[in-house]
Amino acid sequence: MGITVGVLLQEKAIILKPLAEIFIRLLNMIIIPIIFATLIVGITSLGNIKTLGRLGSKTFIYYIITSLIAVIIGLTIINLFNPGKNADLIIDQSIIDTLPNTKMNLTTIIEQIIPKNFFKAIVEENMVSIIFFTIFFGMALNYLGKAGKPILDFVNALNEVILKITEWIMTLAPIGVFALIATLIGEMGLGTLRPLAIYMLSVIVALSIHLLIIIPIILYFFGKYSPKKFFVNFFPALATAFSTDSSIATLPVTIESLEKNIGVSNKVTSFVAPLGATINMDGTALYEAMAALFIAQAYNIQLTLTEQLIVALTAILASIGAAGIPSAGLITLIIVLQAVNLPLEGIGILLAVDRVLDMCRTTVNVAGDACGSIVIAKMEGERFK
């Protein structure tokens, strides 16, 4: 309905913007409390540091393997379709001046991860720092046992409160998603997408392979969960991811759908989902590898196999570094381009179509996080609905 209304109303679809704004602001409003409360509940329900280590290592292995599969799919498809060859390029030079400095060194990485001031991290919405502090907090509560109990009871209650608010916000989801898509299509007009159509198509094909073939295979064999049921039960989160462009904004819906509709325990979702929303991005890894190769093709630069391997590895790193917010992947693409000396101006070409592709890759990112939660819950011996 969103697409139809967007196409019909065109610019007039803007009248629906307030509805979209209300939905997206409500979601954003509860993200930081949700990360703080769920992650602490998750960590403390794991019991001891050994279980945390076990769950943590399984989670990271899952993240890396699935991102690698995604990147391989992306590279294969882009080499097959070759969309950069005859692309109609419009280079937006001004974008280069606006690009942030993404030079990565040990100091900047430490600054990103360890907050100097926890409250500043909250105000600046630095999710990685918030998660870092929260993990410490949860571990200390575990360690203290009885002495920390009043705080633990408080956080458990806080978690219940946040989940209740999420449930209320979720009743607005269909209207919110509808309004978001209608205004987006109306504003953008489908015509702007034409010059890069083949490129977009290749990205969409690659993302679809990951979403509709790889994730179902993993779910079926490793999660012992029906892919069909997954797409039905997890649909609210997929639709929210598609329309909001943000894994983090979708997090409340991801947790709610996993627990209420699929039956994954709070113990697993509260650990795997918030981490996944910030660092596990299959869609983004796939996209960045494809975008880098597309730019190389468009500038007629041949990349050797070793260089393509560097693209694959840096794309995974860049996807880990990307925040779960709109267009984050386009920014961390700089890391991939720099690694193999591709022109940064290339990003200007991709800007025009980024919004649509971001919607698609965010959907894959969120599906990957959910699939991970199901697989890990299964490994922990859980049964689903």
Task: Note the residues at the interface with ligand ASP (CB under 6 A).
Answer: 245-247, 281, 284, 322, 324-329, 358, 361-362, 365
Q: Which is nearer to ligand ASP, 137 or 287 (CB)?
A: 287
Rounded to whole angstroms, how far apart are CA atoms 190 and 14? Answer: 16
Closest residue by beta carbon to ligand ASP: 329
Q: Cβ 358 to ligand ASP, closest distance in Å?
A: 5
Q: Which is nearer to ligand ASP, 5 or 315 (CB)?
A: 315
Q: Which is nearer to ligand ASP, 40 or 180 (CB)?
A: 180
SS3 content of the chain, % helix, strand, coil (to 5): 80, 0, 20
Q: Cβ 324 to ligand ASP, closest distance in Å?
A: 4
* Distances from the Cα of 105 to the Cα of 47, 111, 135, angstroms: 35, 10, 24
Q: What are phi and psi of 310, to 5 degrees?
A: -65, -40
Q: Cβ 152 to ligand ASP, closest distance in Å?
A: 31
Q: Which is nearer to ligand ASP, 40 or 322 (CB)?
A: 322
For residue 136, what are its two tokens? 């410490």
Q: Cβ 288 to ligand ASP, closest distance in Å?
A: 8
Q: Cβ 246 to ligand ASP, closest distance in Å?
A: 4
Q: Which amino acid belongs to residue 139?
A: M
The DSSP 8-state label assigned to residue 357 in this structure reads: H
* Distances from the Cα of 323 to the Cα of 86, 104, 247, angstroms: 32, 15, 9
Q: Cβ 31 to ligand ASP, closest distance in Å?
A: 12
Query: Alpha-carbon torsion 368, 369, 370, 375, what sign?
Result: positive
Query: Alpha-carbon torsion 158, 162, 163, 164, what sign?
Result: positive
* Distances from the Cα of 288 to the Cα of 24, 67, 113, 173, 320, angstroms: 26, 11, 23, 29, 11
In terms of C-beta density within 10 A (0-12 exposed, 13-18 middle, 19 or more buried), how is residue 184 classed?
buried
Q: Which is nearer to ligand ASP, 75 or 322 (CB)?
A: 322
Q: Cβ 117 to ligand ASP, closest distance in Å?
A: 25
Nearest to 55 by CA among 383, 379, 384, 382: 379
Q: Which is nearer to ligand ASP, 315 or 342 (CB)?
A: 315
Rounded to whole angstroms, how far apart are CA atoms 291 and 75? Answer: 10
Q: Cβ 364 to ligand ASP, closest distance in Å?
A: 9
> In which residue are the tokens 């860049």 written?
318
* Distances from the Cα of 327 to the Cα of 24, 263, 347, 357, angstroms: 16, 32, 11, 9
Are 142 and 48 contacting, i.e. CB atoms less than 8 angstroms apart? yes
Q: Which is nearer to ligand ASP, 31 or 46 (CB)?
A: 31
Q: Which is nearer to ligand ASP, 159 or 246 (CB)?
A: 246
Q: Cβ 332 to ligand ASP, closest distance in Å?
A: 8
Q: Which is nearer to ligand ASP, 246 or 261 (CB)?
A: 246
